[in-house]
C-alpha cells in the first residue's frame, strides 16, 4: 500500500494509519515474544501498550463508523448509522441552534447596533463602480415606468385630472385683461394675419368652389319660384348666357380672394379695423365679467377638456414623451443621466457632511431591518430545513464528513495514543507490584 504523506491526505487518513500502526506493532511484538526472538520485561510492557492501543483504535474506529454507517452486528446494529436514523432530530437541532443561538433576533440586532449602516452605504456609493451600478438601477426602474407612459388609461386619468384642476380656475377675466392689452398693443395682428391667410387658402380649395356653386344654384332656384316674371328673367338669362353659374362662382371667389389679400396686406383696412373692434369688444366684455362672454369661455373650456380630441392629443404627447424618456435613459452619458449623476453626487456629499441626517437614515434602516427580522425570522429556520431536506442520506453524510472528517480522524488517533499510554501505565504498575 502506497502511503500519501501530503498534509491533506495525511489528515484524512491519520485514523487508518494509527489503527494500522497499533495492530502491526501488537502483531509483531506478540509473534516475536512467542517465538523467543525478543525477551525481557521491557518488550512485554511495550506489547501491553500496543495491545491497549489496538483496542482503543478499534473502539474509536467503531464509534466513528457507527455515526455514518450501519455495522452489521446483532443487537449493536440498532445503535449504528446514527446520523441517518436521527436525521430529523439533527435537522431540528441545527435549525434551533441557527435560529436561537447564532442568528437569533437579539444577536442580529446587537450586531446591527455596532454598525453604522448609513456611513458604510455612503462610502460605497462614493466608489465610481458602485455609483454607475446605482445609475444603472435608476435607469432600469425609470425605463420600466416609461414603458407604460402611453397606456390609454393614463391619458384618461390625465384628462380627468386636468378637468378637475381647471374646474376651479377662472379664465374669463384674466383672459379678457390679457386680450385687452394684446389688442391695444397690436399683438393680436399676427393671429389675424394667420386667420386671413388660412381663409384665403380655404377659398382656393375645390370643395369651397363646390359649396359656393351649390349656394348660387339654390339661390336662383328659390328666386325663380317667387313669381312668373322672375322665373322668366332667369330663363332668359340662362338661354342668352347672361347668367352663367360657373362664371359667377369663379368671379365671387376671385373677389373674395382679392379682398383677403387686401385685408392681409393693409392693417388699416376698414374690415380689419372692424375685426379689431370686435376683438376689443369681446375682450372688454370678458374683463368686465359679462355673463354671455364668461359663459362662452367656460363652455369652451369644458368642451375642450372633455373632447375626445383632447384625449388623443394627450395620448400623442405621452407617446412622444415615452420615446424621449427612453432616449434619455439609453446610457449613463446622456444629458439627462449626467444631470442625474451630478445630483446623486451632490446628495452623497450632503449626506456625508450631515451627521444628523446620517443618524436618521441609519436609525430608519436599522428599525426597518429589525421589523423584517422579527417578522421573517422563522424563514431562516425554514431555509436551513429546506436546504438540508434537499440532500439525500449519502449527500448529507458526505457534507458532514467533509466538515468534521479531519477532527474525527484525530479522535481515532487519540483513541490509539491514549489507549496505548493507559496500557503502558497499567503494565508498569503491574510490573512494579510484582517486583
The model's confidence at residue 306, banded by pLDDT at 50, 70 and 90, is low
What would the pLDDT profile of 162-196 be if each residue is shown by its tens digit? 777 777 777 777 877 887 888 788 777 787 777 77
- Using CA atoms, how far apart are residues 16 and 25, in angstroms rounded to an integer? 14
Ramachandran class of 104: left when φ > 0, alpha when ψ lies in -120 to 50, beta otherwise: beta
Ramachandran class of 151: left when φ > 0, alpha when ψ lies in -120 to 50, beta otherwise: beta
pLDDT(10) > 50: no
pLDDT(326) > 70: yes
| Mean confidence (pLDDT) of the chain | 80
Output the pLDDT for position 429.
85
Output the pLDDT for position 11.
54
Output the pLDDT for position 65.
78
CB atoms within 10 A of CB 49: 23
Which of 171, 403, 154, 424 minimizes the C-alpha distance to 286?
171
If one compares 123 and 388, the residue with the highest pLDDT of the two is: 123
Length reported for the chain = 435
pLDDT(420) > 70: yes
Residue 407's alpha-carbon distances to 15, 60, 61, 154, in angstroms, are: 10, 12, 13, 67
The C-alpha cell at 32 is 516475536
Mean pLDDT of 89-103: 79
Which of 326, 345, 335, 342 minimizes the C-alpha distance to 142?
326
Query: What proportion of the chain, given as a percentage, has pLDDT over 70?
Result: 94
The C-alpha cell at 315 is 395620448
What would the pLDDT profile of 19-40 be if each residue is shown by its tens digit? 888 889 889 988 888 888 888 8
Burial (CB < 10 A; 0-12, 13-18, 19+), residue 226, is exposed
Output the pLDDT for position 259.
80
What would the pLDDT profile of 230-275 be if each residue is shown by its tens digit? 777 777 777 777 777 788 888 888 888 888 788 777 778 888 788 8
The C-alpha cell at 431 is 510490573
Output the pLDDT for position 7.
47
Residue 132's alpha-carbon distances to 138, 139, 145, 193, 350, in angstroms, are: 10, 10, 20, 54, 19
Output the pLDDT for position 24.
92
What would the pLDDT profile of 69-93 be if each residue is shown by its tens digit? 777 777 777 777 777 777 788 788 8
pLDDT(304) > 70: no
The model's confidence at residue 5, banded by pLDDT at 50, 70 and 90, is very low
What would the pLDDT profile of 39-59 be if each residue is shown by its tens digit? 888 888 888 888 888 888 888
pLDDT(113) > 70: yes
In the chain, domain spans: 7-85+395-434, 152-306
pLDDT(341) > 70: yes
Amino acid at each position: 500500500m502506497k502511503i500519501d504523506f501530503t498534509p491533506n491526505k495525511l489528515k484524512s487518513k491519520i485514523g487508518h494509519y494509527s489503527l494500522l500502526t497499533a495492530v502491526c506493532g501488537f502483531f509483531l511484538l506478540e509473534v516475536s515474544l512467542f517465538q523467543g526472538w525478543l525477551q525481557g520485561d521491557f518488550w512485554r510492557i511495550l506489547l501491553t501498550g500496543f495491545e491497549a492501543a489496538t483496542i482503543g483504535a478499534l473502539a474509536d474506529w467503531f464509534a466513528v463508523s457507527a455515526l455514518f454507517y450501519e455495522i452489521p452486528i446483532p443487537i449493536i446494529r440498532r445503535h449504528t448509522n446514527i446520523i441517518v436514523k436521527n436525521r430529523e432530530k439533527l435537522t431540528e437541532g441545527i435549525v434551533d441552534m441557527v435560529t436561537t443561538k447564532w442568528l437569533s433576533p437579539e444577536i442580529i440586532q446587537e450586531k446591527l447596533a455596532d454598525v453604522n449602516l448609513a456611513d458604510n452605504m455612503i462610502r460605497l456609493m462614493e466608489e465610481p463602480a458602485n455609483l454607475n451600478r446605482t445609475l444603472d438601477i435608476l435607469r432600469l426602474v425609470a425605463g420600466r415606468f416609461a414603458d407604460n407612459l402611453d397606456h390609454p388609461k393614463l391619458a384618461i386619468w390625465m384628462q380627468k385630472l386636468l378637468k378637475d384642476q381647471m374646474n376651479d380656475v377662472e379664465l374669463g377675466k384674466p383672459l379678457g385683461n390679457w386680450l385687452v392689452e394684446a389688442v391695444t398693443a397690436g399683438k393680436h395682428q399676427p393671429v389675424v394675419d394667420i386667420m386671413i391667410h388660412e381663409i384665403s387658402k380655404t377659398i382656393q380649395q375645390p370643395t369651397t368652389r363646390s359649396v359656393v356653386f351649390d349656394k348660387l344654384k339654390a339661390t336662383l332656384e328659390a328666386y325663380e319660384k317667387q313669381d312668373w316674371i322672375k322665373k322668366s328673367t332667369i330663363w332668359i338669362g340662362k338661354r342668352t348666357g347672361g347668367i352663367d353659374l360657373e362664371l359667377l362662382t369663379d368671379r365671387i371667389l376671385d373677389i373674395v380672394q382679392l379682398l383677403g389679400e387686401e385685408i392681409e396686406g393693409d392693417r388699416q383696412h376698414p374690415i380689419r379695423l372692424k375685426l379689431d373692434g370686435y376683438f376689443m369688444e369681446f375682450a372688454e366684455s370678458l374683463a368686465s365679467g359679462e355673463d354671455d362672454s364668461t359663459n362662452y369661455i367656460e363652455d369652451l373650456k369644458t368642451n375642450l377638456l372633455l373632447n375626445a380630441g383632447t384625449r388623443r392629443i394627450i395620448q400623442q404627447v405621452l407617446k412622444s414623451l415615452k420615446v424621449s424618456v427612453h432616449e434619455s435613459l439609453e446610457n449613463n452619458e446622456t444629458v439627462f443621466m449626467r444631470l442625474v449623476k451630478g445630483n446623486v453626487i451632490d446628495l452623497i456629499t450632503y449626506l456625508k457632511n450631515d451627521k444628523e441626517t446620517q443618524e436618521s437614515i441609519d436609525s430608519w434602516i436599522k428599525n426597518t431591518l429589525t421589523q423584517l427580522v422579527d417578522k421573517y425570522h422563522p424563514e431562516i429556520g425554514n431555509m436551513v430545513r429546506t436546504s438540508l431536506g434537499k440532500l439525500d442520506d449519502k449527500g448529507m453524510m458526505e457534507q458532514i464528513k467533509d466538515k468534521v472528517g479531519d477532527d474525527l480522524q484525530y479522535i481515532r488517533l487519540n483513541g490509539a495514543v491514549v489507549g496505548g499510554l493507559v496500557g503502558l501505565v497499567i503494565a508498569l504498575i503491574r510490573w512494579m507490584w510484582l517486583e
